[in-house]
Amino acid sequence: MIAIVVHEFSHGYVAYLMGDYSAKQDGRLSFNPLRHLDFVGVICLIFFKIGWAKPVPVNPYMFKNRKKGIVYVSLAGVVSNFILAVFSIIFMCFLYNQNTLYVQILYLFFYNLAAVNIGLGVFNLIPIPPLDGSKVLAQLLPMQTRIKYLNFERYGGLLLFVLIYFGNLSRYLNIALTYIFQLLFNIIAGVIL
């Protein structure tokens, strides 16, 4: 819940900074989870272990610089997830080697928060529409290719579902998550501990 709310808020806030007030007018510049939850996305998360939030409304025609605006807004959610993961790991390091039950529960909370945020960040970097990585990639493509690529968006959700449940995407995501988590933990622990 925390990861999704921060992710969606970040999209909306950066869009606001780039000149688009759609998210603000829609009441989405909020940390209230109810403003970001999508009913079907929550049900799928419970039953299928993959879900989504209600997308923040973004009007790229309002951006001062459209191309930069799309890239910055798309990356904002991913960057916010990695920042949240870093702070979670910092808290983990401060709680490391303390054996009270309360501290162990907190440690586990921050461990899971870091893992979920890294997982969400990595997942959203996949360049399959409608994920954030696809929007960044689209801005790097020539116009004709970009149009064809973005037309693929209506099939992107189905493709992701197939890749996760019938392909090896989950395995590769877990490898990336484990590697990034361990790398961040080693760097941060090396500084703090």
- Asked if residues 76 and 174 have their Cβ atoms less than 8 Å apart, the reply is no
Q: Total structural domains in the chain?
A: 1
Q: What is the mean pLDDT of residues 136-158?
A: 89
Instruction: Give the per-residue pLDDT at 114.
Output: 97
Mean pLDDT, all residues of the chain: 91
User: Which of these, 56, 16, 19, lies nearest to 36 by C-alpha position?
Assistant: 56
CA distances from 11 to 20, 53, 56, 76, 93 (A): 11, 12, 7, 5, 29
Kindly report which listed range (15-24, 30-39, 107-116) carries the lowest average pLDDT score. 30-39
Instruction: Give the per-residue pLDDT at 12.
Output: 96
Instruction: Give the per-residue pLDDT at 170.
Output: 84
| 66: its two tokens | 């459209």
Q: How confident is the model at residue 44 (pLDDT cuts 50, 70, 90)?
A: confident
- Length reported for the chain: 193
Instruction: Give the per-residue pLDDT at 148.
Output: 87
User: Which of these, 117, 141, 137, 119, lies nearest to 129 by C-alpha position?
Assistant: 137
pLDDT at 57 over 90: yes
Q: How far is CA 190 from the centre of its chain?
A: 26
Q: How far apart are CA 44 and CA 51, in angstroms?
A: 5
Which residue segment(s) compose the domain that 54 sits in? 2-192
Q: How confident is the model at residue 96 (pLDDT cuts 50, 70, 90)?
A: confident
pTM over 0.85: yes
Q: Look at residue 130 and give its three-state secondary structure.
A: coil
Q: What are 53's strand-pairing partners?
A: 37
169-192 vs 101-124: helix axis angle to the nearest 10? 130
143-151 vs 132-140: helix axis angle to the nearest 10? 160
Model pLDDT for residues 104-139, shown as the tens digit of each residue: 999 999 999 999 999 999 999 999 988 999 999 999
- Residues with catalytic function: 8
Q: How confident is the model at residue 19 (pLDDT cuts 50, 70, 90)?
A: very high
